[in-house]
A and B are shown apart, each in its own frame.
Chain A
Amino acid sequence: MWQGIEMLFQHPSVNVKYILDGLFFGSIFALAAYGLALVWGVMNLKNLAQGDLVILGGYFTWYFQSALGWNPILTLPIVMFIMFFFGWAMYALVVKWVIDKDLFTSLLATFGLALVIQQFINLVFGPETQTAVSELGKIKFYLFGGRIVVPEIRVVGVLLCAAVAVALIVFMKRSRTGQAIRATAQDARAAKVMGINTDRVYALTFSINSAICGAAGALVAMMFLVQPFYGITYSIRSFVIVTAAGLGNLPGVITAAFGLGVLEGYANNILGASYQQFIVVFALVVVLVWRMIRLRKARMVLE
């Protein structure tokens, strides 16, 4: 570990690597967190299966690339499409029945969903890690005289991520559906009275979230690795970001996501990969305690 810290000072350019890593990670985290915030804000669903939806998207991408030879960048929209319908199915079969029940029930329902997805992927594809290899992955940028290697796919990934995010924001702000969703989020009863089919809105919201997760997963598969049980960590990351930024705070989500990404980038390189879960959970505890301390002044609790 001390070696890693030494590196920071002896070769300051390494900081650039870690920060870049943080940006690459962070952009994916931001997508997944935004989806969680969406579902949380609109239907008050704390989706414990968020990370597993991400990984599922990743596996679709990997499958298309490894079994069918399709370019992962081009399959991104297809994966989003598939995940959209998968989300719709999940809503109709599971989520719909637990939205109005107590918190305990909905938590366990989404947890059950997470398990089903994880284990299904494990059953069908096995527990090895996978990557969706693409031509672009082979092109690399070299910075600082070769000391820092940036695979082009990661740069492309961030750009794709931004594209998806922009499309999403425009959709939510401009389209009628987007407006219906935001109206329902503000006041479901009022929305119903105004003729909005809240059930439809919820289904749409969950499906959009699923598609967002699919996109995030596609990027994970392209830029890093997927494995059936990586989902939990992505779920925790999403919670960290949403807790830090609050719902409906897009710039906050992006900042928090990048922050977490950079933190993980540094931690991974200095402490080593065997502290990954620890860092993420540590971040969760810190963020929760920080929020709670701030709420305590207002005598409120985090629920």
Chain B
Amino acid sequence: MSIYKRDLMIYVGISIFSIVLALVFPAYITQIAVMFLMVILAQTWDLQGGQMGYNSLGNIMFFGIGMYVSAIIQIAMLYGWGGVGEYTSASGSIKVEIIKSNYLYGMFIGAFAAGIICVLFAFVFGQIFLLFRGPYFAIGTLGMVLAVAELVSSWEWVGAGGGLSLPVYPAEDPTESGRLYFYCFLAISAICFAFISWVVSTRFGLALNAIRDDEAKAEAMGIRTLRYKVSSWMISAFFLGLAGAIFGNMSNFIEPLEVAFPTITFGVFMVVMALLGGKGTVWGPVVGAVIFHIIKETTWTYMLGYQWVALGLLIIVIVIFFNQGIMGSLAERYPHWFGIKIEEDAEEATS
């Protein structure tokens, strides 16, 4: 069985396990759902950070854009495009009865549109931002998301700083919405995993790695580097957009700085999780996301505010002392688990 098929099967196994877990412990269903969101965040970041060597501090922008796009579309489907402005300025005091099918229809269309529009954003922004390298890309993308968040915060039509509330899913019992969003995140994360791990196993993955290892050499060999860079951003943008759309629905109320473009929370988490699990590997971001999320959920409430400082420290520590992350270190210690063959050969071809 190919490595890819094996990975897929493992992921399916994890998904089934999570479903069982969610059904047995319904109180934790939202937390498990968010865990899958974390996996998406980590994996999409790693596509640029670990596979391609481009340290993006602004991927969270697509999350926020997706969230707003979906929200606006869902509102427009209920009130018409003309009515959006009215709705947002009324700050959620307009309510309408929706039936489940309306809601679901709205959310799926919204989410899909969110994905597509984020892909377009990645394509356009990528033509400029992906020409920046190293520190310029890092600080450029960070500035990019901050600027966009700021602009959205003053855009009246989408509710400006006051935020935007979404139509509510008319659930019969409280656990029903929890289950809906859980399955959504599970599905998106599974598709994301399947797609990204496939893409990395093809020539595309090799090209990204070549760009990471020596971009100038890749160019000198005739590789169309910009094409690959932009494509990888478009892939990440798509899944981030979908995830943002669903998260917006789950949160019900979108606020630009805290919910849609959370640079300091989710934006940083995605970096930490991929680093922790092992950047540049298929399972690294997944493992990192799961472990980080579990530790966070169990310990953070006790840290009285210090968790944010600890987050920064964690990045520093991992980057200096644990650079390979979990999967990277395991691959070094036990290469045969990963299908890597090292040959001990006494004969030297050259000096």
Q: Are A113 and B319 in contact (CB under 8 A)?
A: no
Stretch at the interface among A62-70, A100-108, A135-143: A100-108
Residue in B closest to A235 when the chains form the complex, CB atoms: B139
Which residues of the partner chain B approach A284 to less than 8 Å between Cβ atoms?
139-140, 143
Residue in A closest to B53 when the chains form the complex, CB atoms: A104
A113 vs B153: C-alpha distance in the bound complex, in angstroms?
A: 28
The secondary-structure label for the interface of chain A is helix
Q: Residue B222 at the A interface, CB < 8 A?
A: no
Residue in A closest to B139 when the chains form the complex, CB atoms: A239
Which residues of the partner chain B approach A233 to less than 8 Å between Cβ atoms?
146
Q: How far is the CB of B214 from chain A (nearest CB, A)?
A: 12
Stretch at the interface among B15-23, B26-34, B310-318: B310-318
A289 vs B131: C-alpha distance in the bound complex, in angstroms?
A: 9
Which residues of the partner chain B approach A116 to less than 8 Å between Cβ atoms?
309, 312-313, 316
Q: A239-B136, A284-B143 are in contact. Are A122 and B308 (CB under 8 A)?
A: yes
Stretch at the interface among A24-32, A159-167, A196-204, A269-277: A269-277
Q: Are B271 and A281 in contact (CB under 8 A)?
A: no
Q: Are B135 and A112 in contact (CB under 8 A)?
A: no
A98 vs B312: C-alpha distance in the bound complex, in angstroms?
A: 15
Q: Are B147 and A281 in contact (CB under 8 A)?
A: yes
Q: Are B308 and A123 in contact (CB under 8 A)?
A: yes
Q: Are A123 and B147 in contact (CB under 8 A)?
A: no
A200 vs B313: C-alpha distance in the bound complex, in angstroms?
A: 24
Return the contact of B316 from the options A46, A113, A280, A303 (Cβ within 8 A).
Answer: A113
Q: Residue B133 at the A interface, CB < 8 A?
A: yes
Q: Are A114 and B312 in contact (CB under 8 A)?
A: yes
Return the contact of B313 from the options A112, A118, A301 (Cβ within 8 A).
Answer: A112
Q: Are B134 and A107 in contact (CB under 8 A)?
A: yes
Q: Residue B306 at the A interface, CB < 8 A?
A: yes
Q: Are A119 and B311 in contact (CB under 8 A)?
A: yes
Q: Residue B124 at the A interface, CB < 8 A?
A: no
Residue in B closest to A50 when the chains form the complex, CB atoms: B139
Q: Residue B128 at the A interface, CB < 8 A?
A: yes
Q: How far is the CB of B155 from chain A (nearest CB, A)?
A: 10
A276 vs B153: C-alpha distance in the bound complex, in angstroms?
A: 12
A114 vs B135: C-alpha distance in the bound complex, in angstroms?
A: 14
The secondary-structure label for the interface of chain B is helix
Q: Residue B76 at the A interface, CB < 8 A?
A: no
A119 vs B53: C-alpha distance in the bound complex, in angstroms?
A: 27
Which residues of the partner chain A approach B55 to less than 8 Å between Cβ atoms?
104, 107-108
Q: Are A278 and B315 in contact (CB under 8 A)?
A: no
Which residues of the partner chain A approach B135 to less than 8 Å between Cβ atoms?
46, 48, 103, 107, 239
Q: Residue B320 at the A interface, CB < 8 A?
A: yes
- A258-280 to B contact mask, C-beta < 8 Å, 1/0: 00000000000000101111101
Would you list which residues of chain B between 42 and 67 have a CB under 8 Å from chain A?
A: 49, 53, 55, 57
Q: Are A105 and B320 in contact (CB under 8 A)?
A: yes
A97 vs B135: C-alpha distance in the bound complex, in angstroms?
A: 18
Q: Are B139 and A103 in contact (CB under 8 A)?
A: no
Q: A281-B147, A288-B132 are in contact. Are A236 and B309 (CB under 8 A)?
A: no
Q: Residue A109 at the B interface, CB < 8 A?
A: yes
A98 vs B323: C-alpha distance in the bound complex, in angstroms?
A: 11
Q: A235-B139, A275-B150, A302-B136 are in contact. Are A109 and B320 (CB under 8 A)?
A: yes
Would you list which residues of chain B between 296 and 311 have a CB under 8 Å from chain A?
A: 305-306, 308-309, 311
Which residues of the partner chain B approach A280 to less than 8 Å between Cβ atoms?
143, 147
A289 vs B136: C-alpha distance in the bound complex, in angstroms?
A: 11
Q: How far is the CB of A35 from chain B (nearest CB, A)?
A: 15
A103 vs B53: C-alpha distance in the bound complex, in angstroms?
A: 10
Q: A103-B134, A108-B319 are in contact. Are A274 and B312 (CB under 8 A)?
A: no
Q: Are A277 and B150 in contact (CB under 8 A)?
A: yes
A284 vs B142: C-alpha distance in the bound complex, in angstroms?
A: 11
A276 vs B149: C-alpha distance in the bound complex, in angstroms?
A: 11
Return the contact of A113 from the options B136, B268, B312, B323 (Cβ within 8 A).
Answer: B312
A117 vs B316: C-alpha distance in the bound complex, in angstroms?
A: 12
Q: Are B316 and A112 in contact (CB under 8 A)?
A: yes
Q: Are B154 and A274 in contact (CB under 8 A)?
A: yes
Which residues of the partner chain A approach B305 to less than 8 Å between Cβ atoms?
123
Q: Residue B223 at the A interface, CB < 8 A?
A: no
Return the contact of A97 from the options B53, B142, B314, B320 (Cβ within 8 A).
Answer: B320
Q: Are B143 and A274 in contact (CB under 8 A)?
A: no
Which residues of the partner chain A approach B309 to less than 8 Å between Cβ atoms?
115-116, 119-120, 123
Q: Are A277 and B143 in contact (CB under 8 A)?
A: yes
A281 vs B136: C-alpha distance in the bound complex, in angstroms?
A: 11
Q: Residue B138 at the A interface, CB < 8 A?
A: yes
Q: Are B136 and A243 in contact (CB under 8 A)?
A: yes
- A208-244 to B contact mask, C-beta < 8 Å, 1/0: 0000000000000000000001001101100100010
Which residues of the partner chain A approach B154 to less than 8 Å between Cβ atoms?
272, 274-275
Q: Residue A94 at the B interface, CB < 8 A?
A: yes
Would you list which residues of chain B between 151 and 187 have a CB under 8 Å from chain A?
A: 151, 153-154
Q: A276-B150, A284-B139 are in contact. Are A119 and B308 (CB under 8 A)?
A: yes
Which residues of the partner chain B approach A275 to less than 8 Å between Cβ atoms?
150-151, 154
Q: A94-B320, A277-B147 are in contact. List 10 more A-B contacts (CB 8 A).
A: A48-B135, A104-B53, A108-B275, A108-B315, A111-B271, A232-B146, A233-B146, A272-B154, A278-B150, A285-B128
Closest A-B pairs by Cβ, 5 of them: A115-B312, A112-B315, A116-B312, A46-B135, A281-B143
Interchain residue pairs with CB less than 8 A apart (26): A46-B134, A48-B135, A98-B319, A103-B134, A104-B53, A105-B319, A111-B138, A111-B315, A112-B314, A113-B312, A115-B268, A115-B315, A116-B312, A119-B308, A119-B309, A119-B312, A123-B305, A123-B308, A232-B142, A239-B139, A276-B150, A277-B150, A278-B150, A281-B143, A284-B140, A302-B132
